[in-house]
Amino acid sequence: MFNIERWQEIFEAISKNKLRTFLTGVSVASGIFILVILLGAGKGIQNGIQNQFAQDATNRISIWPGNTSKEYKGLGIGRETKLKNRDYEIVTQKFEDYIDNKSAIYSVWSGNIVFGKETGTYRVEGVNPNYQFIENASIVEGRFINLSDIENYEKAAVIGKKVATDLFKEKNKPLGQSINISGMMYKVVGVFTDPGGEREEQRVFIPLSTAQKAYSAGDNIRSMAFTMPKETNFNKAVAESKKFTEELGKVLKKRHMIAPDDESALFINNSLEEAKKIYQMTDIIQAFFWFVGILTIIAGVVGVGNIMLIVVKERTKEIGIRKALGASPASIIAMILQESIFITLISGFMGLILGLLVWAGIGPSVESDFFSHPEVDFNIALTTVILLTVAGAFAGFIPAYKAAKIKPIVALRDE
């Protein structure tokens, strides 16, 4: 393998047979190139989709009340479940370990909002400061509801971008303006945007405490929402959230005298279960790209094998001459294999680097909501190059072996 003389002989054959070298090289390089592009695209789509769902707080758990549909401990059906501040306190204390962000919510579906001559009906939600992260809302200007708003029953409002454009048009800056919500004046302290789009941006957040007072709700709450700490292992995350929701259901049902199997008195929604389907979809996409990639590689191996067959066929006469001059069968095999391995390896690397360069070059410009960071695992690509080289060598070995075996007189007769 490290015989300089032999390498010289091979380099001579390679450099003097440019077309042959070029054709072998191009087929290998393009195979690897396509694979790298495919893997990159697969990864990009996967990242894109996962980002989408990361934006929507995939691990959100919501609880809202309903009416009982089963008798329990002598209590009739059709009772309304009433969630209170106390429920929220107990739950957040008891499940502290499960919970990352938390908020109780008192919302009004249609709150009438007036600013000057402009008026509109929007959903008004009394929430806790953490709610921003549960919604995954981002602040455009100003701030979100904070703890002192809650403690001081501040009449502060954080409005959605849509609400801001509706009420203030282009003319006025929303921050610091006073708006009338259901007959009471609030100061706009922030404007938010939501990845959910316009529909989600037609909302106004006010402090929970203020909302309860303004709408005379006492200590009633309409719902609770939580997120759970991020898990790196998705299946574990699903299992954890399932456990959490079950426990949560048990505790609340017991407190409100609800039959354990009553499905309509309390609703608990676990968004992670939904997300699981999405993740499975990205897995399928990923698997598809792998499948296509592997087919490409198989095609590449077959291609290299074919080229080796042709190369050996083309060189039959040369092989005959070499054997007449004293070349042993082993040296013929070594010559052909070494040449093929060398070309496959070099061109494989070129295809690899070209593919990586393409992604490095166009990656940032194709970045979008559903496509992000199309990186390729270098090790996987490298393994593929080596695999292709080995496969090419095997594919080349059979014709090389046959060529080395044929009698020189037969080889010499070849035209």
Partner 1 sequence: MIEIKDLHKSYKTGKSELHVLKGINFSVKEGELVAIMGSSGSGKSTLLNILGILDEADSGTYVLDGVPIKNLNETLASQYRNKFLGFVFQSFNLINYKSALDNVALPLYYQGIKSKERNEIAMSYLKKVGLETHSHHLPNELSGGQKQRVAIARAMASHPKVLLADEPTGALDTKTSYEVMELIQGINDEGKTILIVTHEPDIAAMCKRNVILRDGLIVEDKYITQQRVTANV
Please report whether residue 69 would count as binding partner 1 according to CB under 8 A: no
d(CA 127, CA 134): 11
Q: What is the largest CA-CA distance in the chain?
A: 107
Please report whether residue 361 would count as binding partner 1 according to CB under 8 A: no
Spatial contact of 211 and 109, defined as CB atoms under 8 Å apart: no
Please report whether residue 322 would count as binding partner 1 according to CB under 8 A: yes
Q: What is the smallest separation between the CB atom of 305 and partner 1, expressed in angstroms?
A: 24
Please report whether residue 412 would count as binding partner 1 according to CB under 8 A: yes
- 264 alpha-carbon distance from chain centroid: 34
- Determine how many CB atoms are found less than 10 A away from the CB of residue 251: 15
User: Nearest 5°: phi and psi at 69?
Assistant: -125, 5
Please report whether residue 330 would count as binding partner 1 according to CB under 8 A: yes
End-to-end CA distance of the chain: 31
Task: Using CB under 8 A, count the residues that bind partner 1.
Answer: 27
Nearer to partner 1, 360 or 409 (CB): 409
Options 32-40, 189-197, 324-332, 353-361: segment touching partner 1 (CB under 8 A): 324-332
Options 49-57, 268-276, 286-294, 318-326: segment touching partner 1 (CB under 8 A): 318-326
Q: Which three-class secondary structure string do you get for 313-356?
A: HHCHHHHHHHHHCCCCHHHHHHHHHHHHHHHHHHHHHHHHHHHH
Binding mask 12-51 for partner 1 (x = CB under 8 A): xx--xx----------------------------------
Nearer to partner 1, 261 or 415 (CB): 415
Q: What is the smallest separation between the CB atom of 408 and partner 1, expressed in angstroms?
A: 5
Please report whether residue 318 would count as binding partner 1 according to CB under 8 A: yes
Nearer to partner 1, 326 or 361 (CB): 326
Please report whether residue 178 would count as binding partner 1 according to CB under 8 A: no
Spatial contact of 175 and 181, defined as CB atoms under 8 Å apart: no
Q: What is the per-residue DSSP string for 233-288? A: SHHHHHHHHHHHHHHHHHHHHHHTT--TT-SSSEEEEEHHHHHHHHHHHHHHHHHH
Q: What is the smallest separation between the CB atom of 17 and partner 1, expressed in angstroms?
A: 6
Nearer to partner 1, 49 or 411 (CB): 411
Please report whether residue 236 would count as binding partner 1 according to CB under 8 A: no
Please report whether residue 5 would count as binding partner 1 according to CB under 8 A: yes
* 231 CB-side CA count, 13 A: 16
CA distances (Å), origin 380, targets 14, 32, 294, 387: 28, 11, 12, 10
Please report whether residue 409 would count as binding partner 1 according to CB under 8 A: yes
d(CA 102, CA 131): 7
Angle between helices 378-405 and 316-324 (to 10 degrees): 60
Which of 60, 155, 162, 323 touches partner 1 (CB under 8 A)?
323
For residue 387 the two structure tokens come to 């695999």
Which of 185, 324, 362, 380 touches partner 1 (CB under 8 A)?
324
Residue tagged 């789009």 (tokens):
197
Nearer to partner 1, 97 or 415 (CB): 415
Which of 79, 123, 255, 317 touches partner 1 (CB under 8 A)?
317
Please report whether residue 329 would count as binding partner 1 according to CB under 8 A: yes
Options 29-37, 71-79, 120-128, 405-413: segment touching partner 1 (CB under 8 A): 405-413
Contact set with partner 1 (CB under 8 A): 5, 8-9, 12-13, 16-17, 317-318, 320-331, 404-405, 407-409, 412
